[in-house]
Structure 1
Amino acid sequence: MFGSAARAHYAPAGARYRSVDVSTRIEGASPHRLVAILYEELLTRMSVLKGALGGGDATRRNDSHARVLAIIAALNTGLDHDKGGDVAGLLATLYAETGRLVGLAVRDRDVTPLDDARGIIADVATAWDQIR
Structure 2
Amino acid sequence: MFSPGHAGASAYARVGVETGVMGASPHRLIVMLYQGARQAIAQARMHLQQGNVSDRGIAISKAIRIVESGLQQSLNLEAGGEIAERLSALYSYMARRLLEANTKQSEAMLVEVDGLLATLEEAWVGIAPEIARMAAQPAAESMR
**Fold conserved between structures, TM > 0.5:** yes
**TM-score, structure 1 length as denominator?**
0.85
Q: Does 1:64 align with 2:42?
A: no
Q: How many pairs were matched up?
A: 124
* Separation of aligned partners in 2, 1:77 and 1:128: 17
**Following TM superposition, by how much is the alpha carbon of 1:77 offset from its aligned partner in structure 2, in angstroms?**
0.8
Aligned residue in 2 for 1:127: 123
Quick one: structure 1 residues 18 and 101, their matched pair in 2 at CA, closer, same or farther if it must change by over 3 Å?
Answer: farther
Quick one: structure 1 residues 15 and 87, their matched pair in 2 at CA, closer, same or farther if it must change by over 3 Å?
Answer: farther
Cα RMSD (Å): 1.8
- After TM superposition, the structure 1 = structure 2 runs for residues 1-132 of structure 1, keeping only pairs within 5 Å, are 9=2, 13=7, 15-73=10-68, 74-132=70-128
* Separation of aligned partners in 2, 1:22 and 1:60: 22
What amino acid is aligned across from residue 110 of structure 1 in structure 2? Answer: S
Quick one: structure 1 residues 99 and 23, their matched pair in 2 at CA, closer, same or farther if it must change by over 3 Å?
Answer: same
* Separation of aligned partners in 2, 1:66 and 1:95: 14
* Separation of aligned partners in 2, 1:15 and 1:114: 27
Seq. identity, %: 27
Q: Deviation per CA, 1:27-61, whole angstroms, max 9, x where unpaired?
A: 21111111111111111111001111111112311
Question: Runs of 4 or more off by more than 6 Å in structure 1?
Answer: none
Unmatched runs of 5 consecutive residues or more in structure 1: 1-7
Q: Deviation per CA, 1:78-114, whole angstroms, max 9, x where unpaired?
A: 1001111111011111111111211121111110011
**TM-score, structure 2 length as denominator?**
0.78
What amino acid is aligned across from residue 38 of structure 1 in structure 2? Answer: L
Quick one: structure 1 residues 96 and 43, their matched pair in 2 at CA, closer, same or farther if it must change by over 3 Å?
Answer: same
What amino acid is aligned across from residue 92 of structure 1 in structure 2? Answer: S
